[in-house]
Structure 1
């Protein structure tokens, strides 16, 4: 009893220590309250990581020799932000609310050969600069060519562009050294307070020319003069990146009153995808579900009802001996499968994953995990995974006891370490690769320590607590007795071959989610916002129903062909959808992404391997429990002597 109490206290101690170990000044949830600004309130622009869809390797803003403030201050970051590679720091860009400014000089830079090379490499890889103002990301408005009034937003502005200009045949690298900010605000009608509702920028490349000697930010620029009301436009003389040639960084700020209210300020950022496509995805998935539901209804209401009525109306012993169909294998259907320990571990892990996703989606649908809460989604998923360990231990121990197992601690230990151990090993290798590239996406040691502490200090004890409770529960009784001698399985038809039926079973669950999967991959790898959690929750429900129904249908056909080895096949039937997910990820890589570096390709396929493995565990567990419920239901419905 004392040991159980000690285990119950351990998770809370580990949680406190792990949260304190996060890089930065603590664990927080950013941007949940509106900020009111008056005219004289200073606004400080923060800089985030440099990101690229071509390399998928983020870098800190000051990894390039940009203008720096006197003191660089790191903002506190939560667990999700650190894992995403966010590095939020202060910047020399600052201004006052509702006070437009023109041609502010930040600094003058004369890059050496190494610095010029770094700029050119980032321009070549199409890196973008990410900034933040009042928790709003900086975006570049882009007019869509196919629609006159539609505007889409690109997160961040490109470091520069590569191209040619008049008189040159070779490609040159031009840096965006002038930023024209537009801050939209919503003014309170009764007070003088205003709230920021949009933060936009138009980047320019201009080779500044100044009069006389350089005098810091007091220097008068001939190419951008606030006194003459002349600002930067599309320049015919862009700023090329060359060693030992000076670059002057400048910026403008303009303010615009907007009708958009603070509560709706994220709407324009999020409207990047067409809702009609999502509805098409839902309708497509519902068609699959209706088709499968019809088959299940036919089996359950017609075939099974007829079978059960026939079996229960047998009057003579001779008739009872002439059993056919699925009743024929009643003495073997609940025989303990091979590698039953491993099955218990996978089922327990699947329950843990299912609980994490269900709770996360409920919170996301209710709006607690909106994009304004940067890093909140990943933080929530990790913490929920850890706390769902108690259900993993309970499920694996209960199933293990049904298989007449007695060493529940061994099963709890394997449940606590197998899936997280595989994922952590892959993650550690990928993190080492990122660290070798000197990317800010590499998880620092303190955060890695926090992750291990969450695993060993909270997840493992909770799995053992769940395993202890599950082992004390009475074993689940089989509805029929199991024969001592296993029955020989007759030769199966080609379409009932285990490999064939397993591969066929995974197609429909994948078909139910693949359209929504496209948007999820786009949000992850093309750095777009994903916010349609309502659609995602519907697709998740459809996935559960599809996995359950296809497994039940194929399990019934398997039992009717007198093959009673359904335990592992029920898990693998729906779990094989993970194979199609990985194949689709490979298709997406070669058709939608422009990744050329081998390191970036390794990272992509490494992370998608982790995602596919998790999807296998989730869908396999859903299919297993559906088949488990189905077999117990039908064999408890017939009279067996």
Structure 2
């Protein structure tokens, strides 16, 4: 079964539904070109394209029979807004099959301060994202062996080099765009777009025709440098008597840099790519890492198998052996000792001596060996039968955490399943976040149910208070963190900032929809359903816990235990981190591999928690409730440490706000992961303890 699963994943890991509707064009039909934003791999701040002072502003004119003029905002889903998209119509005119050698767009003048900001954007490697027929404009590359081609979404805002005379960096703005549309004929008639490529170029403002187009478009020529010559006279007045006069002073003095924008359009037939496979070029570069993904699966299976064998040994030979009275050999040893003393007693009686005079303990041992009395239990974990189900401390917090963990488990399972089925894919822009948010709100039912029923099992009486804590604790802390981060991003005028209206909408989803769902689930779990029954009764007086090993006395034990689940996940984490924080122009679409590794991870968490719980019970420590939760989620500590390593050695993020966003969202993601795996570990330990203690008899 496992082999068939792996074979299925090998074929389905890149499966996707390319779109829900296909658009066919006839010759001369207009093709809307939408502009979105600029983003960089070196910073977490994005900016809406039309918010840049160095690009052509929308004219508002209507093009191609569209009812909307340029600059009109396109309606976005929640996921698109949260990921910083700001899609708007543009003034670019594209008509199917009509090549345009050069078309003037506008001539923009920018001040010194705008030039300085534009230089900084180019220095940070910002990339522009346009959209045509739901495809992002891409730059085309070839592999090292030139055997395959692949796309990288977006194109550079500008470029930089070193001046040969002054050895100082020079920055150039890309002001001419060669747009290449690849199309394919359909048997049903019409043409479909299978590729959208943009090749930017920097061309000086000199040597141009009257219409604004350069006299030479497709030849090598001097670029347009982002530079305004300093006003030496003004600088001398500003810095009188100074021996050093800064040439990069950005104070506006009326000097402007003129940037003419032009574009070319070409249509080329592509017979090798079907419309259903037009996204493949965006994923081709990820295929090179498929062997690494398989290595991650083999590594995960190896670790999980070793732990599985350990759990099997614990259950089949130790636990069941203890239940039958022959687990660790202590009972057999005790019986042999009693039988030996009985033989010695009978031998002494023949000599007229009293057995009790020889050893007063024999009477007690003899009673224990009687057929009418049960043997004394010398197994460590069995001694806890009267305390193992004692209500843990802070049970009013543990129940809401477990409820929130079940909510997150439902969300992650749903997202991975929909992604593997191809429903969530790059053509559904923002769909991953939107669907995830919808699943999270709906899963409030599961959160309330598990929290309410566990709270009732713990003997809690204020179930409405527990419901309120469950509905507000995790979502409330997350919302407050996002709101605080949003203030920093707002100050940067970045499109990454969540609009105020969206924040109000999220607040309404939380308070008006999710909270009532949590209440319904909690009411059903507490009022309508019986609590989980424990197989043994709890003693009135708590048992004294003997001294136990160091790894059971502090958090060092759970933290070290978390290394094992982290070892299962860390190879796949490299791909996830690279996509989220580095290659934001690419698309992570190996959800088949990620799903398999995630499933193995959950199995590993269950195995590790069961082993840790059994070791703790054998040490006669019955405080396993919270510890099982901590053991299950402890690998989140190592993932956050991995985030720090990734930031220091793999990322090149600059700026305080970008670093703050990285660490804050990394911490939030690790908290989500820890809450989810901690819940899985807790439920696994709970099921294990209930099963073990339901099999013993206590006289």
TM-score between both structures, scaled by the size of structure 2: 0.83
The question of 1:513 aligning with 2:513 is answered: no
The question of 1:334 aligning with 2:389 is answered: yes
Q: Which residue of 259, 262, 275 maps to 1:247?
A: 259
Counterpart of 1:491? 547
Q: Which residue of 470, 479, 482 maps to 1:415?
A: 470
C-alpha separation in 2, matches of 1:302 and 1:361:
37
Cα displacement (A) at 1:47:
0.6
Q: Secondary structure at the match of 2:547?
A: coil
Counterpart of 1:74? 73
Counterpart of 2:51? 63
Counterpart of 1:233? 219
Contact 1:64 1:118 in 2 (8 A): no
String of CA shifts for 1:429-467, please: whole Å, max 9, x gaps.
Answer: 111110011101111111001100000011100111011
C-alpha separation in 2, matches of 1:254 and 1:56:
34
C-alpha separation in 2, matches of 1:560 and 1:400:
27
Contact 2:103 2:213 in 1 (8 A): no
String of CA shifts for 1:251-303, please: whole Å, max 9, x gaps.
Answer: 12222211211111111112222211111111111111101101011111111
The question of 1:592 aligning with 2:647 is answered: no
The question of 1:223 aligning with 2:216 is answered: yes
Q: Secondary structure at the match of 1:488?
A: coil
Counterpart of 1:185? 183
Counterpart of 1:99? 98
Cα displacement (A) at 1:208:
4.2
Contact 1:60 1:440 in 2 (8 A): yes
Cα displacement (A) at 1:68:
2.7
Counterpart of 2:503? 448
C-alpha separation in 2, matches of 1:494 and 1:241:
64
Cα displacement (A) at 1:318:
6.5
C-alpha separation in 2, matches of 1:233 and 1:277:
42
Contact 2:73 2:89 in 1 (8 A): yes
The question of 1:286 aligning with 2:344 is answered: no
In the alignment of these two chains, the number of paired residues is: 599
Contact 1:498 1:569 in 2 (8 A): no
Cα displacement (A) at 1:233:
3.4
Q: Which residue of 37, 48, 58 maps to 1:49?
A: 37
The question of 1:302 aligning with 2:317 is answered: yes
Contact 1:30 1:135 in 2 (8 A): no
Cα displacement (A) at 1:326:
0.7
Counterpart of 2:148? 150
C-alpha separation in 1, matches of 2:549 and 2:499:
55
Contact 1:501 1:554 in 2 (8 A): no
For 1:78-93, list aligned pairs within 5 A. 78-93=77-92
Contact 2:129 2:153 in 1 (8 A): yes
* Bigger mean CA deviation after superposition, 507-516 or 287-296: 507-516
Q: Secondary structure at the match of 1:239?
A: coil
C-alpha separation in 1, matches of 2:130 and 2:264:
15
CA shift in 2, pair 1:533/1:615, >3 Å: same
Counterpart of 1:5? none
Cα displacement (A) at 1:358:
0.9
Counterpart of 1:570? 628
The question of 1:268 aligning with 2:281 is answered: yes
Counterpart of 1:540? 598
Contact 1:311 1:638 in 2 (8 A): no
Cα displacement (A) at 1:175:
0.7
CA shift in 2, pair 1:318/1:498, >3 Å: farther
Contact 2:416 2:591 in 1 (8 A): yes
C-alpha separation in 1, matches of 2:422 and 2:18:
14
Contact 2:323 2:695 in 1 (8 A): yes
CA shift in 2, pair 1:189/1:234, >3 Å: farther
Q: Secondary structure at the match of 1:49?
A: strand
Contact 1:393 1:415 in 2 (8 A): yes
Cα displacement (A) at 1:34:
1.0
C-alpha separation in 2, matches of 1:327 and 1:220:
88
C-alpha separation in 1, matches of 2:208 and 2:198:
27
Q: Secondary structure at the match of 2:20?
A: coil
C-alpha separation in 2, matches of 1:361 and 1:112:
49
* Bigger mean CA deviation after superposition, 522-531 or 292-301: 522-531
Cα displacement (A) at 1:165:
4.4
C-alpha separation in 1, matches of 2:510 and 2:465:
17
Cα displacement (A) at 1:143:
3.0
Cα displacement (A) at 1:522:
1.6
String of CA shifts for 1:566-621, please: whole Å, max 9, x gaps.
Answer: 00000000111111111111111111111121111001001111101101100100
For 1:616-631, list aligned pairs within 5 A. 616-631=674-689
C-alpha separation in 2, matches of 1:77 and 1:31:
16
* Bigger mean CA deviation after superposition, 152-161 or 317-326: 317-326
TM-score between both structures, scaled by the size of structure 1: 0.90
Contact 1:343 1:568 in 2 (8 A): yes
CA shift in 2, pair 1:635/1:74, >3 Å: same
The question of 1:580 aligning with 2:638 is answered: yes
Cα displacement (A) at 1:63:
1.9
Q: Secondary structure at the match of 1:439?
A: coil
Contact 2:139 2:151 in 1 (8 A): yes
Cα displacement (A) at 1:524:
1.4
Counterpart of 1:347? 402
Q: Secondary structure at the match of 1:195?
A: strand
* Bigger mean CA deviation after superposition, 65-74 or 600-609: 65-74
For 1:428-439, list aligned pairs within 5 A. 428-439=483-494
